[in-house]
A and B are shown apart, each in its own frame.
Chain A
């Protein structure tokens, strides 16, 4: 399986990367870890004239934990998310979710930025970022702008990012100390995308519920969060199920997916409630 030919660029900084994107327009595409893009190129479902490799751009890496937020560079790998103790202390749900993505080899390469920028409804980080009310910084020729994760996804593979923009970092406001959390995922085997997955945060400030691979975008349900914050788990599960729109595919028919979603959502809510302190 050999993809169509392309021209390869490896810029050393963001400005050079943006200028290559500007010169070549929609002929150009960035590659981060390549573990969503390269399989698509090998299947010749994506053809690219100019591939812009971001691996040398140091400013796109790193995890910074402050008193009220976490800022993660787009090129930070899933493996780095899992092995960061500072991140696990501040936001343990990220490690819990990242450990459920793919397999070790994929996690060494796959990046947070690639996972959220991709727009594949199967990716786990977009739902999690909606649950956490994260903001994505994208930068183009006109400078940086922020887009809320909850406003980023339009439909499968269509997002609010313009083609000449690069996603540079993800900013996550820290939930209240002692918050309860859970990311629950049902998959057919290790390395598979979710049949259904759900992220939940509960704290004194309220609750947040978002789901993965149950529609053509991640789904954040405000109603489910409100019901859960009021202690009404049954109502919260019902609200979450009302918000999804799963389609039949190789992971099963719609009725099966709705059933699995109900189980996964309830487990996530119950585990988050058990873990909440105070």
Chain B
């Protein structure tokens, strides 16, 4: 089957390439573009390790064809650090609160949390647990992830207040 030309915005920059329409977005990111932040955990839409942000939605990139992402605005963990390359507030809080152990789930988790905090800037613990229910972590037991997210929310809100 013939390849199609795909073009979309990735972490603020335009990317393009040739791909069969059946190529999954996660494979295009990892194999064609060498964007290896988003991981493949289950490849069956269950674990969330492959989560990317697409047009303002957290999506499992193993369950999207690259053809569907044509023209979209995609952000991966690579696009979520500070512009100078230092860790973002969410990343820093995961480090500080031990929100990761092996780190396999972390890129997907943080990409999801990024969107969650845009939608719920002051979440309760329950909001956090409900909001990250699509991301599995086999190591932490979630407790420290929840702590990290709540701490990140506080810091981001404090930064916003200071700026006002």
Contacts and interface: CB of A to CB of B under 8 A. Distances in A.
A53 B44 CA distance: 21
B106 interface: no
A254 B27 CA distance: 41
B162 interface: no
Interface in A64-113: 79, 102-106, 108-109
A250 interface: no
A207 B22 CA distance: 46
A41 B64 CA distance: 11
A: contact size bracket: 20 to 34
A118 interface: no
Given A34-B68, A106-B134, A108-B58, A8 B51 contact: no
Given A8-B4, A35-B63, A38-B63, A53 B68 contact: yes
Given A8-B65, A42-B44, 11 more contacts: A1-B43, A5-B20, A5-B22, A6-B1, A34-B63, A42-B43, A103-B134, A104-B112, A104-B131, A105-B51, A105-B59
B21 A8 contact: yes
Contact of B133 (A6, A31, A55, A104): A104
Interface of B: 1, 4, 20-24, 27, 43-46, 48, 51, 57-60, 63-65, 67-68, 70, 112, 116, 130-134
Which of A41, A51, A108 has its CB near the most chain B CB atoms (within 10 A)?
A108
A102 B21 CA distance: 26
Interface of A: 1-8, 10, 31, 34-35, 38-39, 41-42, 51, 53, 55, 79, 102-106, 108-109, 190-191
Which of B24, B43, B68, B133 has the most chain A CB within a 10 Å cutoff?
Answer: B68
B22 A190 contact: no
